[in-house]
Amino acid sequence: MTGPDREPTGDGLEVLLFAGLAEAVGRSRLRVEPPLPDTVGALAARLREEWPGLSRATFRTAVNQRYAADESPVRPGDELALIPPVSGG
């Protein structure tokens, strides 16, 4: 991961966090640098390990603005969004 003071390499990917997920880690964007996991599920597991605020969080994932299953591939340059449960009526 890169922090706000490190430049991305271009081989990584962006992770967008919304609502309580952003609050849990203290930011709305993360940058994941190589080596990248092969799948959404593996990337989510890595994020849960590296960011304790996500360890028990429930969320759906989207890759490049499309919902993605855990077995969906991730590639350098992708944008991954972590979307918390939404309720409404």
In the predicted structure, residue 4 carries a pLDDT above the cut 50:
no
- Tell me, what amino acid is at 17? L
Give the pTM. Answer: 0.83
Using CA atoms, how far apart are residues 75 and 54, in angstroms rounded to an integer? 22
In the predicted structure, residue 2 carries a pLDDT above the cut 60:
no
Two structure tokens written together for 29: 């964007």
Can you give the pLDDT at residue 86? 83
Can you give the pLDDT at residue 5? 40
Instruction: Spell out the domains of the chain, with CATH numbers in brackets.
Output: 13-83 (3.10.20.30)
Can you give the pLDDT at residue 80? 97
Can you give the pLDDT at residue 89? 62
